[in-house]
Amino acid sequence: MRGGGRDPLSKLGVQLPEGLLRQALTHSSYANETGEGEANERLEFLGDAVLDLALADILYQRYPDRDEGELSKIRAVVVSRPVLAQAARRLGLGKHLRLGKGEEGTGGRERPSILAAALEALLGAVFLTYGYPRARELVENLLGDEIERYAAERSQDYKSLLQQLGQRRFGTLPAYSLVEQQGPEHEKVFTVEVELGGNQAVGRGRSKKEAEQAAAKRLYLRLEEEDTGWKG
């Protein structure tokens, strides 16, 4: 079988123009071998950029308390080849691919690099057909569970960690105080200071809770770095 058939995105309520769908599912080995149509590499290029933007958008909105470094690490995992290939398998994408005989004979339908590239190409095709909002929605549908899982794995409650450190090292608890709040009601920025054992740190956020977490993280990491060998 050389691929084809039903639109793999139809189960998600997405219908693509036939020509664009065919291109998204056409591997370069097929195009080179048959001379039929254009391979999906240009669509993959576009889809890769759309995927990066959509994930940055989703992560920024979902996790307002995470800093740039943490968000980047979550995104890097979610856009990795194994994760994208697994999402492609859930769509049954392999059976729809148009592959050359060589790729077909060496298991190309299950090769992670080919599956991930085809998924990005489909995302590029969705973007061209429907625009960014629908493409973002598709990313959330396809990768939402992975986003949640990897974000949870990276989650750290620094207020709890700092509290444990304070009890262990100083025999006391951290104290938080609101330093200031700035901006209009719908865009307030809070600044909070935390003090523990004569050490202070300041954090900022869009809520007091977020600012406290930021301050706790800063002080916790500083104290751990200063004396990682401390024994209580």
pLDDT tens readout for residues 22-61 = 999 999 999 999 988 899 999 999 999 999 999 999 999 9
Is residue 150 located within the same domain as residue 185? no
Q: Which of 154, 183, 200 is the last residue of a domain?
A: 154
Give whole-number Cα distances, 18 to 23, 129, 142, 191, in Å. Answer: 9, 11, 22, 54
Is residue 192 located within the same domain as residue 120? no
pLDDT tens readout for residues 104-159 = 899 999 999 999 999 999 999 999 999 999 999 999 999 999 998 888 776 667 88
Is residue 34 located within the same domain as residue 68? yes
79: containing domain:
10-154
Count of helices and strands (H, E) across the chain:
10, 3
Q: Do 176 and 193 form a contact (C-beta atoms < 8 A)? A: yes
Is residue 115 located within the same domain as residue 186? no
66, amino acid identity: R
The predicted pLDDT at position 231 comes to: 37
Backbone angles phi, psi at 179, to 5 degrees: -85, -50
* Residues that are catalytic: 48, 120
Give the chain's mean pLDDT.
Answer: 89
Q: Is residue 107 part of a domain?
A: yes
Residue 43 to residue 24: CA distance in whole angstroms: 7
pTM of the model: 0.67
Q: Locate 25 and state its tokens.
A: 């599912």
Q: Is residue 232 part of a domain?
A: no
Is residue 149 located within the same domain as residue 165? no
Residue 192 to residue 92: CA distance in whole angstroms: 50
Q: Look-up: residue for tokens 């590239």?
A: 117
